[in-house]
A and B are shown apart, each in its own frame.
Chain A
Amino acid sequence: MLRFWLVKLLRATVTLWLVVTSVFIVLRTSGDPVQSLLPPDATIEEIEQFREAWGLDRPLTEQYAKYVVNMATGDFGKSYRDGRQVTTIIAERVPWTLFLGLTAYAVAVLLGVPLGILAAIRRNTFVDRLIMSFAVFGFALPNFFFGILLILLFSLNLRMLPSSGTGTWMHVIMPAATLGLTTAGALARFTRSAMLDVLGKVYIRAAAAKGVSFAGRILRHALPNAAIPVVTVMGLNLGALLGGAIVVETVFAWPGVGRLLVSSVSSRDLAVVQALVLMIAATMVVANLTVDLLYGVLDPRIRVASKD
Chain B
Amino acid sequence: MFSRRDFNKLTIGTALAAGIPHTANAQGRPTLTIAVDNLWSTMAPINGISTTSLRIFPNFYERLIERDYINDPNGLILKPKIATKWEQHGKVWHFEVRQGVKFHNGEEVTAEDVAFTLGADRLWGAKPFEPRGKTFTEGFNRVQATGKYTFEIETDNIDNNIPGKLCGYIGLVVPKKYYLEVGVDKFGQAPIGAGPYKVNTFRSAEVMILDAFDDYWGEKAPAQRLIWKIIPEYSARLAGLVSGEFDFIVNIPSDQVATLKGYKNVNYISRTADNYPAFAFNTRPDPVDNPLVDVNLRMAMVHGVNMPEVVKALFGDETFHPAVPFNFPEYGKFYDPNAKPRMTYDPQKAKDLVKKTKYKGEPLRWHITRSFYPNYEPAAEIMIEQWREIGVNVQAIILDNFDLVYRRPFHLMNMSMSSSFIPGDPYQPLWLDWGPTASRSTASWKTWDPSPKFNEIGAAFSKASNFEERRKLYQALSDEWQDITPGLYMWKSVYNWAHRSGITFKPVADSDMRMHGEYLKLS
Give chain A's interface residues, CB within 8 Å of chain B.
31-32, 34-37, 39-46, 49, 80-84, 91-92, 95-96, 99, 148, 151-152, 154-156, 159-172, 250-253, 255, 259-260, 262-264, 266-268
Residue of B with least CB distance to A162: B17
Q: Could you tell me if B402 and A35 are in contact, using CB atoms closer than 8 angstroms?
A: yes
A260 to chain B: which residues have CB within 8 Å?
A: 205
A82 touches B131 (CB 8 A): no
Among the listed stretches B73-81, B216-224, B238-246, B507-515, which one makes contact with chain A, having 4 or more residues with CB under 8 Å of it? Answer: B238-246
Q: Is the CB of A169 within 8 A of B401?
A: no
Bound: A268/B401 CA distance, A: 10
Q: Within 8 Å of chain A (Cβ to Cβ): is B285?
A: no
Q: Are the CB atoms of A167 and B239 closer together than 8 Å? A: no
Separation of A253 and B9 alpha carbons in the complex (Å): 17
B44 nearest CB across to chain A (Å):
11
Binding site for A on B (CB under 8 A): 1-2, 6, 9-11, 13-19, 41-42, 47, 49-50, 127, 131-132, 134-135, 185-186, 188-189, 203-206, 229-233, 235-236, 238-240, 242-243, 245, 400-404, 406, 415, 439, 442-443
Within 8 Å CB of B6, what residues of A?
A: 166
Residue contact A82 to B10, C-beta cutoff 8 Å: no
Whether B132 pairs with A164 at a CB distance below 8 angstroms is: no
| Contact of A251 (CB < 8 Å), options: B9, B50, B132, B236 | B236
Contact A45-B17, Cβ < 8 Å, known A82-B42, A155-B240, A250-B232: no
A36 close to B230 (CB less than 8 A): no
Contact between A250 and B233, CB atoms less than 8 A apart: yes
Q: Please determine whether B9 and A168 come into contact, CB atoms closer than 8 angstroms.
A: yes
User: B404 to A31, Cβ gap below 8 A?
Assistant: yes
CA of A168 to CA of B7 in the docked complex: distance in angstroms? Answer: 9
Contacts of B235 in A (CB 8 A): 148, 151-152, 156, 251
A-B contact pairs, 21 of them (CB 8 A): A35-B406, A37-B41, A39-B50, A39-B132, A42-B132, A82-B189, A82-B203, A82-B204, A96-B2, A159-B243, A162-B17, A163-B236, A163-B245, A166-B9, A170-B17, A172-B10, A251-B236, A252-B233, A253-B229, A253-B236, A255-B206
Which of A40, A163, A165, A252 sits near B402, CB closer than 8 Å? A40
A45/B236 in contact, CB under 8 A:
no
**Given contacts A43-B132, A81-B41, A81-B205, are A160 and B406 in contact (CB under 8 A)?**
no
Q: Closest A-chain residue to B433, C-beta based?
A: A41
Chain A residues with Cβ below 8 Å from B10 are 99, 166, 168-169, 171-172
The CA of A92 and the CA of B406, in the complex, are separated in Å by 35
- A164 touching B233 in the complex, CB below 8 Å, given contacts A152-B239, A156-B238, A156-B243: yes
**Minimum distance in angstroms from B42 CB to a CB of chain A:** 7
Q: Are B439 and A43 in contact (CB under 8 A)?
A: yes
Q: Which residue of A lies closest to B53 (CB)?
A: A39
Given the complex, which residues of B lie within 8 Å of A156, measured CB to CB? 235, 238-239, 242-243
User: Is the CB–CB distance between B1 and A95 below 8 Å?
Assistant: yes
List residues of chain A with CB within 8 A of the CB of B443.
44
**Chain B neighbourhood of A160, CB < 8 A:** 18
| Beta-carbon nearest neighbor of B205 in chain A | A263
7 cross-chain pairs, A with B, having the tightest CB-CB distances, nearest first: A95-B2, A35-B403, A168-B13, A155-B239, A162-B17, A163-B239, A81-B41
Chain B CB within 10 Å, residue with most, of A83, A96, A165, A264: A165
Shortest Cβ gap from B68 to chain A (Å): 27
A37 to B38 Cα, complex, angstroms: 13
Q: How far is the CA of A262 from the CA of B229 in the complex (A)?
A: 16
Q: In the complex, how many angstroms separate the beta carbon of B22 from the nearest chain A beta carbon?
A: 14
Residues in A with CB closer than 8 Å to B189 are 82-84
Q: A83-B185, A161-B17, A168-B13 are in contact. Are A91 and B1 (CB under 8 A)?
A: yes
Bound Cα distance A268, B145 (Å): 41
Indicate which residue in A36, A41, A170, A253 contacts B16 across the interface (CB closer than 8 Å).
A170
Q: Which of A42, A148, A268 has the most CB of B within 10 A?
A: A42
Q: CA separation between A84 and B131, bound complex, in Å?
A: 22
Task: Select which of B17, B19, B238 is within 8 A of A171 by beta carbon.
Answer: B17
* Residues of chain A contacted by B233 (CB below 8 angstroms): 148, 151, 164, 250-253
Q: How far is the CA of A49 from the CA of B132 in the complex (A)?
A: 11
Query: Which residue on A lies nearest to B415, using beta carbons?
Result: A40
Contacting residue for B13 out of A148, A167, A250, CB 8 A: A167
Contact status B243-A163, CB under 8 Å: yes
- A163 / chain B contacts, CB cutoff of 8 Å: 18, 231, 236, 239-240, 243, 245
A134 to B115, CA, bound (A): 68
User: Would B132 and A36 count as touching, CB distance under 8 A?
Assistant: no
Name the A residues within 8 Å of B131 (CB-CB).
Answer: 43, 45-46, 49
Distance of A16 Cα from B237 Cα, bound (Å): 38
Q: How far is the CA of A169 from the CA of B15 in the complex (A)?
A: 10
Most buried by A among B17, B47, B231, B406: B17
Interface centre among B41, B245, B400, B406 (most CB of A within 10 A): B41
Chain A residues, Cβ within 8 Å of B204? 81-82
User: How far is it, in angstroms, between the C-alpha of A164 and the C-alpha of B36 when the chains are bound?
Assistant: 13
A46, B240: Cα distance in complex, Å: 39
Tell me how far the C-beta of B418 lies from the nearest C-beta in chain A, rounded to whole angstroms.
9
* Pairwise interchain contact B18-A155, C-beta atoms closer than 8 A: yes
Residues of A within 8 A of B238 (CB): 156
Q: How far is the CA of A170 from the CA of B361 in the complex (A)?
A: 59
Question: How distant is the Cα of A92 from the Cα of B47 in the complex, in angstroms?
Answer: 26
| Distance to closest chain B CB from A144 (angstroms) | 8
**Sample of 4 further A-B pairs with CB below 8 A, known A36-B403, A82-B188:** A83-B186, A162-B240, A167-B17, A170-B17
Q: Which residue of A lies closest to B238 (CB)?
A: A156
A164/B17 contact (C-beta < 8 A), A31-B404, A83-B185, A260-B205 known? no
